Structure 1
């Protein structure tokens, strides 16, 4: 999907517009298509390095919102005052660590990917394990009606997970944005309007 010339144009455009990576245009396309982000929202970005999705989300939610990024690597960008960052292993991140920053989130995003080995089935399995962890975390921190968007390398088990997303959200589907490289096996799993949030620890205090 898209020529090498098109892919290079995404890279050049990202540099010109001050984004940390060309992957920002994948999020932009899906946001425009599915209406994911609005002013004042609280957004969790899991696996956020180098930070282009955080940059975009911060601009969309504005000063009245919140963006929280999580990654095992340090960020390569500066965040606005309504941005936060937790340096942590995605597979070890707990809902309590996230909910310590905000009581609930409107959107959970993830462009996280494992370190690839070149062994297709191993890379697909590692990607699916990450997606499953992100999905479980999203269910624990999203507010009712919230949205979920995460990347996975398509392979065994992905269709089953899409089915789970369809069961928990009013809309669940897979999507491959135009900015994805033609040879890439990646797709994005979308969930719009969480039907019911899982039980959460009450983070409110009296008074």
Structure 2
């Protein structure tokens, strides 16, 4: 369990220079119970609770030895893995710089780089038992475009997972509700024994995000 958090829950005094949407976002953050819990408990982001809830439901972290977190920054999912699977080797990869975490190898690079898979397997000491992706494409504000861009990212993550997972391994990725999903699910069902969808309670009700949980990689 982390012991310290960043930031605080105090309401900002001045709204000067902020747009209406950024003001609404800040106010939602300051009143969000998951944000308050994350700050109090030392998780780097409220997203930590999403992985905890998915793990409670699907047993994702039980017995895992090697875990990859794609698009890991700021690192809250790595924190959860370390807390719940202290024996696991963890590799976090992101284009963004990420503050170090105990016993976690951080790679600042694109997971689509041709060298990424080999570097990750070398850092892990073997193929992964679990590949996590809480990534979403940068939003442009057009729902259909945002969905298609995120789905392309998820499809790339799924292909990457198939490259580095050990038989019996699992893959978890964030989706945005929309149309281009059946082909991805069909591919995952060919590769995994079980493919299910979930919306953890920590995911905001107004958000279109869901998660696909694929377990039992056939190799």
> What TM-score do the two structures reach when normalised by structure 1?
0.86
Q: 1:183 aligned to 2:203? A: no
Q: Post-superposition shift, 1:115?
A: 1.0
Which of 124, 133, 138 in structure 2 is aligned with 1:115?
A: 138
Higher relative contact order (CA 8 A, sep 6+): 1
Q: 1:100 aligned to 2:122? A: yes
Judge conservation of contact 1:91–1:130 (CA < 8 Å) in 2: no
SS of residue matched to 1:92: coil
Q: Which runs of 5+ in 2 are unaligned?
A: 1-27
For 1:54 and 1:107, locate their aligned partners in 2 and report how far apart those are by CA, in whole Å. Answer: 12
Where in structure 2 are the equivalents of 1:44-193 lying within 5 Å? 44-62=68-86, 64-76=87-99, 78-81=100-103, 83-92=104-113, 94-102=116-124, 103-193=126-216
Alignment RMSD, CA only?
1.7
Q: Post-superposition shift, 1:79?
A: 1.2
Deviations 1:159-181 (A, max 9, x none): 22122212211110111111111
For 1:164 and 1:41, locate their aligned partners in 2 and report how far apart those are by CA, in whole Å. Answer: 26
Judge conservation of contact 1:145–1:194 (CA < 8 Å) in 2: yes
Q: Which runs of 5+ in 1 are unaligned?
A: 198-207
> What TM-score do the two structures reach when normalised by structure 2?
0.81
For 2:211 and 2:149, locate their aligned partners in 1 and report how far apart those are by CA, in whole Å. Answer: 15
Q: Post-superposition shift, 1:90?
A: 3.5
SS of residue matched to 1:106: strand
Moved more, 91-100 or 15-24: 91-100
For 1:135 and 1:55, locate their aligned partners in 2 and report how far apart those are by CA, in whole Å. Answer: 22
- Structure number with larger C-alpha Rg: 2
For 1:185 and 1:166, locate their aligned partners in 2 and report how far apart those are by CA, in whole Å. Answer: 23
Aligned residue pairs: how many? 189
Q: Residue in 2 aligned with 1:30? A: 54
Q: Post-superposition shift, 1:182?
A: 1.3
Judge conservation of contact 1:39–1:60 (CA < 8 Å) in 2: no
For 2:53 and 2:207, locate their aligned partners in 1 and report how far apart those are by CA, in whole Å. Answer: 17
Q: Post-superposition shift, 1:21?
A: 0.4
For 1:189 and 1:40, locate their aligned partners in 2 and report how far apart those are by CA, in whole Å. Answer: 19
Runs of 4+ aligned structure 1 residues displaced above 4 Å come to none
For 1:39 and 1:17, locate their aligned partners in 2 and report how far apart those are by CA, in whole Å. Answer: 24
